[in-house]
């Protein structure tokens, strides 16, 4: 069985563990997800499932996407995500995969889009120390020298400079799965998860190194 789901970040809170210690956790609505498409090595070159999450209104979808649902008599969904897995022989299009696939899982890796920070300088974006704040140094939060004057007379690509920060795809590895609420499709994960509340995230069962187990 594939051990991956599409979910939504609800927010952060804290719960008590078995030893009575407070644990900071992120609450995630994980699934349920519908199997929208199934791929195999014979036709596509690899084994994978395309899962759908959240209901969508038909008039908001274009004809090619809507045709995928009408062909298989499925309810249109908002989010589609493909998960590669070799254990998909018994799964059929239209099946529902819920949070129960994580019942025997201890840790997960979660992928999401981080919060946008806008245009930021080098101190906030890259952690530069900056210059002195006193004696009129005029070098407080500036990046400093970025190139050469005579040779090669250019700024090399990849230099850490001010620019847009955040709104990037990030994966947090090996988060401890503290609790699962099967009735409400909620999971409680120790630590922070990338993105703002109500953001779509992708959850994978992981080993201690954070490597995804569903492949």
Alpha helices in 87-185 (DSSP H): 122-126
Per-residue confidence (pLDDT) for residue 210, from 0 to 100 = 57
Phi, psi at 68, each rounded to 5°: -65, -35
Per-residue confidence (pLDDT) for residue 209, from 0 to 100 = 61
Per-residue confidence (pLDDT) for residue 172, from 0 to 100 = 92
Provide the whole-model pTM: 0.85
Closest CA to 40 of 52, 30, 50: 50
**Paired tokens of 134:** 């006193």
Per-residue confidence (pLDDT) for residue 212, from 0 to 100 = 67
Per-residue confidence (pLDDT) for residue 71, from 0 to 100 = 85
Per-residue confidence (pLDDT) for residue 127, from 0 to 100 = 94
Per-residue confidence (pLDDT) for residue 215, from 0 to 100 = 54
Tens digit of pLDDT at every position of the chain (215 positions): 788 999 999 999 999 988 889 999 999 999 899 998 888 888 888 888 899 998 888 888 888 888 888 888 888 889 999 998 887 778 888 888 899 889 888 899 999 999 999 999 999 999 999 888 888 888 889 998 888 888 888 889 999 999 999 999 999 999 999 999 888 999 999 988 999 999 999 999 887 665 666 65
Per-residue confidence (pLDDT) for residue 121, from 0 to 100 = 95
Q: What is 4-117+168-206's CATH number, 1.10.240.10, 2.40.30.10, 3.40.50.2300, 2.70.98.10? A: 2.40.30.10
Domain boundaries, the chain: 4-117+168-206, 118-165
Cis omega (within 30 of 0) for bond into 32: yes
Phi, psi at 117, each rounded to 5°: -110, 0
Give the whole-angstrom CA distance, residue 64 versus residue 67.
5
Per-residue confidence (pLDDT) for residue 47, from 0 to 100 = 87
Per-residue confidence (pLDDT) for residue 136, from 0 to 100 = 85
Beta-carbon contacts of 30 under 8 Å, excluding residues fewer than 6 positions away, are: 5, 6, 7, 99, 102, 185, 186, 187, 203
């Amino acid at each position: 069985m594939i051990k991956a789901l599409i979910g939504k970040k609800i927010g952060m809170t804290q719960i008590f563990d078995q030893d009575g210690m407070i644990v900071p956790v992120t609450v995630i609505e994980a699934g349920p997800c519908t199997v929208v498409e199934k791929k195999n090595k014979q036709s596509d070159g690899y084994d994978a499932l395309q899962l759908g999450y959240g209901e969508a209104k038909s008039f908001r979808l274009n004809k090619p996407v809507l045709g995928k649902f009408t062909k298989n008599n499925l309810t249109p969904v908002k989010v589609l995500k493909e998960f590669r897995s070799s254990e998909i022989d018994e799964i059929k299009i239209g099946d529902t995969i819920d949070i129960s696939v994580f019942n025997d899982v201890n840790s997960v890796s979660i992928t999401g889009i981080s919060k946008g920070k806008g245009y930021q300088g080098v101190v906030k974006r890259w952690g530069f120390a900056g210059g002195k704040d006193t004696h009129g140094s005029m070098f407080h939060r500036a990046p400093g020298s970025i190139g050469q004057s005579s040779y090669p007379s250019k700024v090399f690509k990849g230099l850490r400079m001010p620019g847009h920060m955040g709104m990037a795809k990030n994966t947090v590895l090996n988060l401890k799965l503290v609790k699962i609420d099967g009735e409400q499709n909620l999971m409680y994960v120790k630590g922070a998860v990338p993105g703002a509340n109500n953001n779509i995230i992708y959850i994978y069962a992981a080993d201690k190194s954070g490597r995804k187990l569903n492949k």
